[in-house]
Amino acid sequence: MSTEPHVPTNRPPSAPGPLVVRPGKVVAVHVAYASRADQRGRRPAAPSYFLKPTSSLAATGGEVERPAGTELLAFEGEVALVIGEPARHVPVEKAWDHVSAVTAANDLGVYDLRWADKGSNVRSKGRDGYTPVGPALLDARAVDPAGLRLRTWVNGELVQEDTTDADALLFPFAQIVADLSQHLTLEKGDVILTGTPAGSSVVGPGDVVEVEVDAPAAPGAPTSGRLVTTVVQGDVPFGDIGAGPKIDDTQRAEAWGSREAAGLPAEPEPFALTDELADKLRRAPVAGLSAQLRRRGLNNVIIEGVRPNTPAATIVGRARTLRFVPNREDLFASHGGGYNAQKRAFDAVGAGEVIVIEARGETGSATLGDVLALRAKVRGAAGVVTDGGVRDFDAVAATGLAVFSKGAHPAVLGRRHVPWDTDVAVACGGATVLPGDVVVGDADGVVVIPPHLAEEVADATLAQEEQDAWVAQQVAAGHPVDGLFPPNAEWQARYESWKSQTERESR
């Protein structure tokens, strides 16, 4: 095997492709299209960026190599903007004036190398030839930035088609230019890659990728023409001097666009605390749930020492966690005031969720009061569990919010605690509680149930409760508990017979 590296035929000249000057920098947007964001399952609130080296630029009609030892080379058809006039601190309404031209680009990347990039994309997207552009420039003055169309073909099949109108883009091009100009000077010739829509996927040796940008509604329907790139196989292996290729199923799914496209089995449906399951858990006593969890090897799931602040209060919901650390004056000064973690937790709690507070069993200070309890109640929270104190005790009870605590205390938070973090693993009453765990409370206390066991444990508890009720009837009728509680084989057979008869009669 040859040890000489493959040199792509489109290795960048001084001014690659149609570009008039060699750019000083190439800036790329991580996610800008709604279709791509929805495909990934996350919509950014603001644009984010990475830099590509100018050595990655290439012209149309060339080759790009998939490095030896990798499998996930992906294409991304994109609209490229070329800066015509330097831009620094320009407002959105004037940003497009600094763009001289528009063209097609292919923001190629190797997903096998993403793990070590930490978002920089230096290894995965910075290789020679990984930013082909062209073949022609569209005059930015002659097109509407919201009236462009982007299309990508692989081996002649259309795989990406989207527009740049307000419904398609999360961030209009003028916003991207203006935002970048807040942080750095955009110089003449710089290239901005504006993100890719859904449809990006994996290509291999022999595949031909074509990208075109046009303005169908503009006079003459100007077009960039098709930017053509052919994939070839690289033959130089990576050495052991740095981070090499490494992939997992998550990278495969993201590179191909979906688990199905990557040939991976579908992920199981995420756990949902349905109304039906919540009703079962409300009918299942905590003592019974605890016994069923113990049968499954889970002994440390009781939040010790907490009791309902109002008689007959119950809780069923998913955990939303809040962690306090011991008070230290400098830390309370930096984390205790303003919109701190405690306030954020009560502002963010969702309907049916339970705020679980780690207070380290410290009862010499309160962990919530009436205002925060009211906020949680208004947001539909199922309740609060804290292994600390509660101030405004009667006022909290008056809100109707179910609260389990270690009792009342008049002192404010800062006497003993610093509100530190939310939505993390916490230790409440000696039990570890993860965000999303199922929390159930009644007069006996509070139990924490791993979500994947919730349905099974609820059903088993209710079945046991039915049997225990029958046993109680037998005891009330005068039978001794020996052999009956728990039932021996004879009594178990009698119960099964009674149960079958009851079910037949109820049909």
What residue type is assigned to position 490 of the chain?
E
To the question of whether residue 372 is assigned a binding role by annotation, the answer is: yes
Diameter over CA atoms, the chain: 100
Cα 189 from chain centre: 36
To the question of whether residue 385 is assigned a binding role by annotation, the answer is: no
Residue 21 has what pLDDT?
Answer: 84
To the question of whether residue 370 is assigned a binding role by annotation, the answer is: yes
138-166 pLDDT, tens digit per residue, is 999 999 999 999 999 999 999 999 999 99
Query: Could you count the other beta carbons within 10 Å of the beta carbon of residue 180?
Result: 22
To the question of whether residue 444 is assigned a binding role by annotation, the answer is: no
Is residue 199 over pLDDT 80?
yes
Mean pLDDT across the stretch 15-29?
A: 86
The confidence band for 1, taking pLDDT boundaries of 50, 70 and 90, is very low
Q: How many helices (H) and strands (E) does the chain have?
A: 13, 27
User: Do 26-256 and 299-449 fold alike per CATH?
Assistant: no
**Pick the residue with more confidence: 310 or 503?**
310
Is residue 433 over pLDDT 90?
yes
Q: Which residue has the tokens 């070329």?
A: 82
Of 14-28, 68-82, 113-127, the range with the lowest mean pLDDT is 14-28
Residue 9 has what pLDDT?
Answer: 45
Sheet with 227-233: strands ordered across? 62-66, 227-233, 208-214, 149-154, 157-163
Residue 67 has what pLDDT?
Answer: 96
445-492 pLDDT, tens digit per residue, is 999 999 999 999 999 999 999 999 999 999 999 999 998 888 899 999
Residue 232 has what pLDDT?
Answer: 96
Q: What angle do CA 241, 242, 248 make, to 5 degrees?
A: 135
Q: Kindly indicate whether the domain formed by 299-449 is annotated with CATH number 3.50.30.40.
A: yes
Cα 29 from chain centre: 19
* Domain boundaries of the chain, sorted by first residue: 26-256, 299-449, 465-506
The three-state secondary structure class of 492 is: helix
- In the beta sheet, which residues pair with residue 10? none
The three-state secondary structure class of 329 is: helix
Residue 40 has what pLDDT?
Answer: 82
Is residue 330 over pLDDT 60?
yes
C-alpha span between 246 and 466 (Å, rounded): 53
Residue 504 has what pLDDT?
Answer: 84
Is residue 10 over pLDDT 80?
no
The confidence band for 16, taking pLDDT boundaries of 50, 70 and 90, is low
In CATH, the number for domain 26-256 is 3.90.850.10
Strands 62-66 and 227-233: parallel
To the question of whether residue 193 is assigned a binding role by annotation, the answer is: no
What pTM value is reported for the model? 0.63
Residue 164 has what pLDDT?
Answer: 96
Average pLDDT score, the chain: 93
Mean pLDDT across the stretch 103-108?
A: 97
Are 357 and 388 within 8 A, CB to CB?
A: yes
The confidence band for 14, taking pLDDT boundaries of 50, 70 and 90, is low
Token pair listed for 149: 């169309």
List the one residue out of 430, 410, 412, 433 whose CA is nearest residue 422. 433
Residue 41 has what pLDDT?
Answer: 80
Residue 327 has what pLDDT?
Answer: 95
Residue 15 has what pLDDT?
Answer: 63
- In the beta sheet, which residues pair with residue 87? 186
Are 426 and 441 within 8 A, CB to CB?
A: no
Mean pLDDT across the stretch 260-279?
A: 91
Phi-psi region of 189 (alpha: psi -120 to 50; beta: other; left: phi over 0): left
Is residue 307 over pLDDT 90?
yes
DSSP state of 360: T
Is residue 6 over pLDDT 50?
no
Residue 193 has what pLDDT?
Answer: 98
C-alpha span between 204 and 74 (Å, rounded): 9
